[in-house]
């Protein structure tokens, strides 16, 4: 039964252009920002899951993300996806638009929540179906030293009515001084939204992460390990960002 559930589940996971847990950071209204997402799969799956897919092993993913503050609560963003294959071929893999909302809250202490909506078209090298949408719920809590956050993601292909899948991403980080946070991020696929699981047959991964800021440039860096056989085994990721 478990094998049948896996084989019958829709394969519409979002393209892994960003490995990130969303929190309450927003750019200043009327100003632009740029994040550059980078990740490299040192060890991972070497066979495609569907015709045309680029297997993740030894693939480098490069995604500039441009964003603009519409208001204190709204931010508009654009992702441009690119990959470099294990054979050394560099390709453009599509674009996505996003709209992020964070409710008013105390930015120094207490709870925060919001939502992020993404839609875009990607190549079949990174997603089985080209047109996809994602709704991301954002919730977290911050103290003077600790940050805890969770994202519940619902992904859906516009080509399949039965394609909605879910993923839960979480983060815990501690301020260790000198503007440095150390912690962990966890990325757990839940399967079909209407019938989750079986979790051991889905991608589950954990990352040791560092967050800091150097000369106005924000850095999120992490080394990840797959916790199930279907997850990428070892992944290095780093995100550099600047707000103008």
Residue length, the chain?
244
pLDDT (0 to 100) of residue 10: 46
Cα–Cα distance for residue pair 161/235, rounded to 1 Å: 32
Range(s) of the domain holding residue 38: 2-243
DSSP string covering 71-124: SSSEEEEEEEEEEE-TTS-EEEEEEEEEEEEE----SSSEEEEEEEEEEEEE-T
pLDDT (0 to 100) of residue 209: 98
pLDDT (0 to 100) of residue 161: 75
The structure's pTM equals 0.92
**Number of separate domains in the chain:** 1
Give 10-residue mean pLDDT values along the chain (244 residues).
40 66 97 97 92 94 98 98 95 97 96 98 91 96 97 92 90 97 97 90 96 96 95 96 96
* Rg of the chain taking only CA atoms, in angstroms: 18
Phi, psi for 8 (deg, rounded to 5) = -90, -10
Which domain CATH number covers 30? Answer: 2.40.160.40
pLDDT (0 to 100) of residue 160: 80
- Provide the 3-class DSSP secondary structure of residue 70: coil
Task: Evaluate whether 182 touches 206 at the Cβ level (below 8 Å).
Answer: no
Q: Which residues of 69-86 are buried (b: 16+ CB within 10 A; e: fewer)?
A: bbeeeebebebbbebeee
């Amino acid at each position: 039964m478990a094998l049948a559930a896996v084989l019958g589940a829709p394969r519409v996971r979002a393209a892994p252009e960003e490995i990130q847990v969303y929190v309450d950071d927003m750019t200043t209204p009327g100003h632009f920002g740029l994040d550059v997402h980078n990740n490299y799969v040192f060890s991972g799956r070497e066979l495609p899951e569907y015709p045309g897919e680029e297997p993740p092993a030894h693939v480098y993913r490069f995604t500039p993300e441009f964003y603009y503050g519409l208001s204190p609560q709204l931010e508009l963003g654009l992702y441009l996806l690119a990959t470099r294959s294990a054979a050394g071929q560099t390709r453009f893999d599509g674009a996505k638009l996003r709209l992020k909302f964070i409710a008013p809250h105390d930015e120094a202490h207490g709870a925060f929540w919001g939502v992020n909506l993404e839609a875009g078209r990607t190549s079949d090298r990174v997603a089985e179906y080209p047109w996809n949408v994602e709704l991301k719920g954002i919730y977290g809590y911050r103290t003077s030293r600790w940050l805890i956050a969770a994202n519940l993601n619902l992904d859906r292909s516009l080509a399949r009515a039965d394609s909605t899948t879910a993923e839960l991403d979480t983060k815990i980080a501690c301020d260790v001084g000198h503007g440095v946070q150390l912690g962990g991020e966890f990325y757990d696929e839940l399967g079909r939204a209407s019938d989750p699981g079986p979790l051991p047959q889905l991608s589950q991964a954990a990352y040791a992460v560092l967050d800091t800021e150097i000369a106005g440039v924000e850095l999120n860096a992490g080394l990840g390990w797959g916790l199930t056989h279907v997850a990428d085994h070892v992944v290095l990721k780093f995100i550099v960002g600047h707000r103008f």
